[in-house]
Amino acid sequence: MSEIIIDAKNIVKTYVMGETKLNALDDVSFELKKQEFVAIMGPSGSGKTTLLDVLSVLLRPTSGEVFINKKPISKMNDNELALIRGRTIGFVFQTFNLINRLTAKENVMMPLWFQGIPKNKREKISEEILTDVGLADRMHHRPTELSGGQRQRVAIARALAVNPDIIVADEPTGNLDSVSGKQIMELINELHDKKGKTILMVTHEREIADHAERIIHLKDGKIIHNETLKKKKITEKSVK
């Protein structure tokens, strides 16, 4: 059994909207093991994005505790959380969230800058990763000059820059046509199978969720079903 990398216990997230209180997450507990590929599914408003935000320490829960590598986040200040995100989690968003005035390469270099890595090293790493995701000839283009699929590749390259253990993907194919969507999923599978990354992905499409090893079904802020898919196994060799 591999070790637990994210451990969430009794997570409640409440949003107060005027007089009414809304429990986006209602007593959710969840474990993510190292090198697992988990998909979170559910209809819109089920709380899946909120869960992803809490698990990736972008958002603090109202109550409950999240342990990242066994460390509780409630004891950490915002700067420490930022450092944990920067080091251990790579983000891929539905809307790509690239900075449009920076080139592809500069976007990939950015997380490395926050880790205090010197410029020449940052350039080298970024060039390598962009080549890996098939964008060797697009490095100096700005996001607005790239197709949706290419932008998402830049985002994946940025997520990989600091070589994190976990890749968090929020509807990674949501804004893409089916061909690019398929290519992006192939890339994510490759990260899991070949590079041994732990993948946590939110989607509302069953077809996309089927790439995962386990699917968490969420409804009204609660986990209603924890489904294990049998088709894939991680081989020891695949660990980088």
Partner 1 sequence: MDLELFSRATENLKRQKFRSLLTLLGIIIGIGSVVALISIGDGFNKSVEKEFEKMGSNTLIILPGSSFMSSVFAKLEKKDVDRIEAIKGVESATPLFLASQTVGFKEEKKSALLVGIDTKKQDLLEDIGLLSIGEGRNLTSSDSFSVLIGKRFSEEKFDSEIELKQKLVLDGSYLRVVGITKSAGQSFGAAFDSAIVINYKTLEEITGEELTPFRIFAKAVNKKEVSEVKERIKKELKKAHGKEDFQIMTASQIQESALSILGLIQMVLVFIAGISLVVGGIGIMNTMLMAVMERTREIGIMKAVGATNTIILSLFLVESGVIGLIGGFIGYVIGFSIALIGGMIASSSGINLIIEFNPLLLFGSLAFAFLIGMISGFIPARRASLMEPVEALREE
Phi, psi of 184 (to 5 degrees): -65, -40
DSSP letter for 195, please. T
Q: Give the count of beta carbons closer than 10 Å to the beta carbon of residue 144.
A: 9
CB of 82 to partner 1, least distance (A): 4
What residue type is 150 in one-letter code? Q
Is the Cβ of residue 49 or residue 213 nearer to partner 1 in the bound state?
49
Q: Minimum Å distance from CB 130 to partner 1? A: 16
Type of residue numbered 143: P
Q: How far is the CB of 79 from partner 1 (least distance, A)?
A: 4
Q: How far apart are CA 4 and CA 39, in angstroms?
A: 16
For residue 11 the two structure tokens come to 């997570």
CB nearer to partner 1: pick between 99 and 239: 99
Give me the least distance between CB of 167 and partner 1, in Å please: 12
Residues that bind partner 1 (CB under 8 A): 53, 58-59, 78-79, 82-83, 85-87, 90-91, 93, 97-99, 101, 110-111, 113-116, 119, 158, 162
Residue closer to partner 1 by CB (options 168, 184) is: 168
Which residue, 158 or 211, is less far from partner 1 as judged by CB? 158
Give whichever of 114 and 226 is closer to partner 1, judged by the CB atom. Answer: 114
Handedness of CA 165, 171, 175, 177 (dihedral sign): positive
Token look-up 């969230």 returns 97
State the nearest-atom distance from the C-beta of 161 to partner 1, in Å.
Answer: 8
Residue 208 CA from chain centroid, whole number: 15
